[in-house]
């Protein structure tokens, strides 16, 4: 499918380039119908290229697609329409059609580009909420307002419909030629009228919205709902896109089960729907302006909880009246897990002593009093290995390529495929469950192709080995990784947060040596891997590690690693997290809280 899209994009570029050539050649040769075919081809090429997301394209082709087909749309449209007006004027000698075409261009630009940019930019919500309790404020009903979702969708649909007048005009002129002048004139006149109607609706809607003070009323209603809710903690989440929601997803069940009132706050509007689904009954708000963020720090708020080091975290960190708690989103030996930015938080919740030593070894001086060991609540649900259990199912959970080369420990580059091949050949009785990181391929698009190849390899292995149903090799992209941990008997992974959590299971673990360090250096540089079997792309490494399939000789080493990485305390990690929140809040929450 991705290969087909690349070919489709190449065809779109070819059609566009060919259209430009036809338009110029036709005009110079006074073959005006040919010129109009060329202009129509330019429109068709842009339409073809804009239909899909472009995720399957290389970085260079993505840039080409953006600059050539997605940017400067008003200018491209104006050039096509001016060229059409010139061609029709020279071809049929009808000034009325040429003038109507120019007028249609102006009206369409105003209704579909200039108008929305002007009015939508001037009147836009700055604070939106989901799952909020009713405020009890009496707000007047506004029938037509620029923020009503259904009404905005209807207006946008009307605007989109007028886009089809352009190809309709091309079809009439190309098919009918000079004899279709009257029909083309009616099409252009209808286009002018439709664009004028859309512009009038947009102006009247915005005027009605401003007159009714809709935005201010909605803003005040949202703030009153938040004040009525009296949150104890702000769960602050700022990230680059929806693909980062996994960072907060792993924490929400345990935060909600604490019994404290949580208000989830985001600064990116596209994240609001996803956070509302994750938080369910917990209120979620999107706040655009820094001045409005201050209004959320109510007297009831005791602390703010963070799960990453997002750049916009500093906007809330400046408030000294509350306690700032950094949870991060995984226990990893990657350099990104020991950042100087973490020093800014009042409390740094870590899984175990290994994390504290990681900061020290990275040259980041943080007082011990700033750390709080809580374990990893998500590991409370991980099943422990049965005594003398054999390896029947292997979970392969490689990490992604990271934002930069320094954090690229992804085995999908060149280790995953030969490792899977070796296992299928030498341990055909072993069942494989493959679960890649959700961000794999977002920086290096070639990895998406390699993942597709791995999926096909597992499907082929199912056919060759006659596997089906629960016995089949599986390639999964959704679901909780803890469920995958409980399904397997051993793990193959990279340097990431995955091996740290898996230590809880006490099951055998294979870790890839992406940078060819060797076992001794890998264990020393990445302490979470101590007690794991180190493998790379070579068959020799798997032959050395194959002893784990017979007898797990490193189990005692991993047990010590588990205590250092996940904390050496009695009870569940969830209780440690709840105790931390209780201490910050300064009071006990409602009784009867349950593990989410």
The 10s digit of each residue's pLDDT in 470-511 is: 999 999 998 889 999 999 999 999 999 899 999 999 999 999
Q: CB neighbours of 551 closer than 8 A, spacing ≥ 6?
A: none
Percent of the chain exceeding pLDDT 90 equals 58
In percent, the amount of the chain with pLDDT more than 70 equals 90
Q: Closest Cα to residue 226, out of 275, 286, 170, 270?
A: 286
Instruction: Pick the more confident residue, 223 or 510.
Output: 510
Backbone φ and ψ for 235, nearest 5 degrees, come out as -95, 100
Rounded CA gap, 222 and 520, in Å? 57
pLDDT at 53: 56
> Which structural domains are found in the chain, ordered by start?
2-124+153-183 (no CATH), 230-375 (3.40.50.11720), 388-566 (3.40.50.2000)
Length of the chain measured in residues: 596
What's the pTM?
0.68
User: How many distinct helices (H) and strands (E) make up the chain?
Assistant: 24, 14
Q: Sheet containing 474-475: which strands, arranged edge to edge?
A: 474-475, 431-434, 393-397, 490-493, 509-512, 533-535
pLDDT bucket at 143, cuts 50 / 70 / 90: very low
What pLDDT is recorded for position 212?
A: 59
pLDDT of 7 strictly over 80: no
Query: Is pLDDT of 216 > 90?
Result: no
Is residue 267 predicted with pLDDT exceeding 90? yes
Query: pLDDT band at residue 139, thresholds of 50, 70 and 90?
Result: very low
pLDDT band at 304 (very low <50, low <70, confident <90, very high): very high
Where residue 302 falls among pLDDT bands split at 50, 70, 90? very high
Tokens 């919500």 — which residue? 125
* Torsion angles phi and psi, residue 554, rounded to 5: -105, 15
Confidence class for position 399, pLDDT limits 50, 70, 90 = very high
Whole-number Å distance between alpha carbons of 258 and 282: 12
User: What is the average per-residue pLDDT within 317-335?
Assistant: 89
Task: Please report which confidence band the pLDDT of residue 142 belongs to, taking 50, 70 and 90 as the band edges.
Answer: very low
* Alpha carbon 259 to chain centroid, angstroms: 29
Region 363-392 average pLDDT = 92
Q: Which CA distances in Å does 275 have to 260, 263, 289, 558?
A: 18, 11, 19, 36
pLDDT of residue 149: 58
Q: What does the pLDDT look like over 22-54, one tens digit per residue?
A: 999 998 998 888 999 999 999 998 888 877 656
pLDDT computed for residue 68 by the predictor: 78
3-state secondary structure (DSSP) of residue 347: strand
pLDDT reported for residue 317: 96
The C-alpha atoms of residue 452 and residue 8 are separated, in whole angstroms, by 20
What span, in angstroms and rounded, lies between the C-alpha atoms of 266 and 430?
Answer: 44
* Largest distance between two CA atoms of the chain: 91
Q: Round the average pLDDT of the chain to a whole number and report it.
A: 87
Q: List Cβ neighbours of 536 (8 Å cut-off, separation of 6 or more).
A: 415, 512, 513, 514, 516
Tell me: the pLDDT tens digits for 156-197?
788 889 889 999 999 998 998 878 888 989 999 999 999 999
Tell me how far apart the alpha carbons of residues 121 and 11 are, in angstroms, rounded to a whole number. Answer: 36
Angle between the N-to-C axes of helices 32-49 and 165-176, in degrees from 0 to 180, rounded to the nearest 10: 150
Instruction: Look at residue 595 and tell me whether its pLDDT is greater than 50.
Output: no
Beta pairing, strands 347-350 & 371-373: parallel
CB 20 within 8 A of CB 34: no
Q: What Cα–Cα distance (Å) separates residue 58 from each residue in 441, 442, 451, 454? A: 11, 11, 16, 20
The CA distances from residue 584 to 70, 201, 279, in Å, are 49, 52, 22
- Signed CA dihedral, 415, 416, 417, 421: sign only: positive
Average of per-residue pLDDT across 291-317:
95
Residue that has been written with the tokens 């588990």 in this structure:
562
Does position 4 have pLDDT exceeding 60, yes or no? no
Q: How far apart are CA 481 and CA 495, in angstroms?
A: 16
- The two tokens of residue 436 are 């890649």
* CB neighbour list of residue 88: distance below 8 Å, 6 or more residues apart: 32, 36, 94, 97, 98, 101, 173, 184
Please choose, from the candidates 584, 377, 401, 593, the residue with its C-alpha nearest in 3D space to the C-alpha of residue 501.
377
Interatomic CA distance for residues 451 and 474, integer angstroms: 13
pLDDT tens digits along 543-562? 999 999 989 999 999 999 99
Average pLDDT over residues 74-91: 88
Task: Measure the CA–CA gap between 174 and 44, rounded to whole angstroms.
Answer: 14
Query: Is the backbone of residue 149 left (phi > 0), alpha (psi -120 to 50) or beta?
Result: alpha
The first and second tokens of residue 430, run together, are: 């072993």
- C-alpha to C-alpha distance for 455 and 474, rounded to whole angstroms: 8
Name the pLDDT band for 525 (thresholds 50, 70, 90).
very high
Give me the helix-helix angle, 181-211 and 149-162, nearest 10°. Answer: 160
Can you give the pLDDT at residue 453?
A: 95
Which of 442, 433, 439 has the alpha carbon at shortest distance from 395? 433
């Amino acid at each position: 499918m991705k290969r087909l899209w690349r070919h489709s994009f190449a065809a779109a570029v070819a059609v566009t380039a060919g259209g430009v050539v036809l338009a110029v050649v036709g005009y110079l040769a006074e073959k005006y119908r040919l010129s109009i075919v060329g202009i129509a081809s330019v429109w068709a090429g842009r339409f073809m290229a804009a239909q899909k997301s472009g995720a399957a394209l290389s970085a260079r082709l993505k840039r080409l697609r953006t600059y050539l087909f997605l940017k400067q749309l008003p200018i491209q449209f104006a050039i096509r329409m001016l060229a059409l007006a010139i061609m029709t004027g020279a071809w049929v000698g009808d000034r009325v059609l040429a003038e109507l075409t120019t007028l249609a261009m102006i009206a369409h630009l105003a209704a579909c580009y200039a108008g929305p940019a002007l009015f939508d930019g001037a009147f836009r919500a700055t604070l939106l909420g989901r799952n909020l309790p009713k405020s009890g404020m009496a707000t007047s009903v506004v029938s037509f307002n620029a923020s009503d979702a259904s009404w905005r969708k209807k207006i946008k649909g009307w605007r989109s419909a007028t886009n089809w007048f352009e190809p309709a005009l091309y079809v009439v002129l190309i098919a009918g030629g000079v004899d279709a002048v009257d029909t083309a004139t009616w099409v252009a006149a209808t286009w002018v009228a439709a664009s004028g109607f859309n512009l009038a609706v947009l102006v009247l809607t915005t005027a009605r919205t401003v007159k009714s003070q809709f935005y201010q009323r909605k803003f005040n209603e949202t703030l009153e709902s938040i004040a009525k809710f009296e949150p104890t903690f702000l769960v602050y989440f700022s990230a680059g896109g929806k693909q980062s929601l996994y960072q907060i997803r792993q924490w929400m069940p345990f935060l909600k089960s604490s019994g404290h009132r949580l208000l989830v706050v985001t600064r990116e509007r596209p994240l609001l729907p996803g956070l509302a689904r994750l938080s369910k009954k917990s209120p979620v708000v999107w706040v655009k302006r820094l001045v409005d963020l201050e209004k959320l720090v109510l007297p009831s708020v005791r602390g703010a909880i963070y799960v990453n080091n997002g750049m916009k975290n500093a906007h809330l960190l400046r408030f000294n009246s509350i306690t700032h708690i950094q949870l991060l989103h995984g226990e990893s030996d990657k350099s990104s897990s020991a950042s100087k930015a973490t020093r800014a938080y009042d409390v740094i919740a870590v899984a175990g002593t290994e994390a504290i030593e990681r900061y020290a070894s990275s040259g980041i001086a943080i007082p011990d009093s700033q750390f709080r060991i809580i374990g990893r609540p998500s590991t409370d649900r991980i099943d422990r290995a049965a005594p003398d259990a054999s390896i029947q199912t292997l979970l392969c959970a490689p990490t992604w390529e990271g934002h930069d080369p320094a954090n690229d420990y992804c085995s999908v580059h060149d280790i995953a495929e030969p490792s899977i091949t070796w296992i299928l050949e030498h341990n055909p009785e072993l069942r494989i469950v493959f679960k890649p990181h959700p961000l794999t391929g977002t920086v290096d698009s070639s990895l998406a192709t390699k993942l597709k190849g791995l999926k096909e390899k597992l499907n082929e292995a199912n056919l060759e080995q006659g596997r089906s149903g629960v016995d089949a090799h599986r390639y999964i992209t959704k679901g909780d990784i803890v469920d995958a941990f409980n399904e397997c008997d051993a793990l193959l992974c990279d340097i990431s947060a995955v091996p740290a959590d898996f230590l809880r299971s006490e099951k055998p673990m294979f870790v890839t040596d992406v940078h060819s360090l060797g076992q001794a250096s890998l264990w020393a540089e990445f302490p979470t891997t101590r007690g794991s079997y180190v493998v790379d792309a070579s068959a020799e490494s798997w032959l050395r590690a194959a002893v784990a399939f017979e007898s797990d000789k490193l189990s005692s080493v991993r047990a010590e690693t588990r205590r250092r990485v996940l904390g050496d305390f009695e009870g569940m990690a969830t209780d440690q997290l709840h105790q931390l929140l209780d201490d910050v809040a300064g009071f006990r929450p409602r009784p009867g809280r349950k593990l989410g």
